[in-house]
Amino acid sequence: MNTELLSVVDENDCIVDTCPRHIIHATGLRHRAVHILVFNEQGRLFLQKRSMKKDLNGGLWDTSAAGHVDAGEDYDACAVREIEEELGISVDHALEPLFKLPAAAAIGMEFIQVYRYIHNGPFILAVDEIDDGDWVSDAEIVERIAADDQLLTETFKTIWRQFKASAT
């Protein structure tokens, strides 16, 4: 069983408790996560195919890198840790914070801080986290989301819609 400790937060994203991840997910408590959109210099986004071993959304396509903010960790430190762990990137310039989504049932009761990072690869994918990865164009993502592609996570769809709305 996963005994990862996460901060439980209130509706204002203020820490109120610490609890094991499995309890937080089982009881629907608010908590924190990061998602990183890694673009290459041609503007294509790297998507990861989540490992079939994952307890949530196994086999679905998701943001480039993502993860829970551990208890005692902040969003920025978590983002650097996750991009290094999942993609094998040694961060050499700051990740750009884009926006933060409020916790909602549709995104797993997570406050999600979203970042952008520019990197052309290659990547060293974490085998226990990611089964595959691919570069996709903006147009392809828009088309897949418009078609409600069930191979994309709901969280990624939510993030992409906000990303596109923020860019206009």
pTM equals 0.95
The predicted structure's pLDDT at residue 58: 76
Which tokens belong to 122?
Answer: 């290659």
Full residue range of the structural domain in which residue 97 is found: 5-167
pLDDT band of 1, cuts 50, 70, 90:
very low
pLDDT tens by residue, 40-69: 999 999 999 999 888 778 799 999 999 999
pLDDT band of 2, cuts 50, 70, 90:
low
Q: For position 97, which CATH number holds? A: 3.90.79.10
Backbone angles phi, psi at 135, to 5 degrees: -85, 130
Into how many domains does the chain fold? 1
Strand, helix or coil at 29? coil
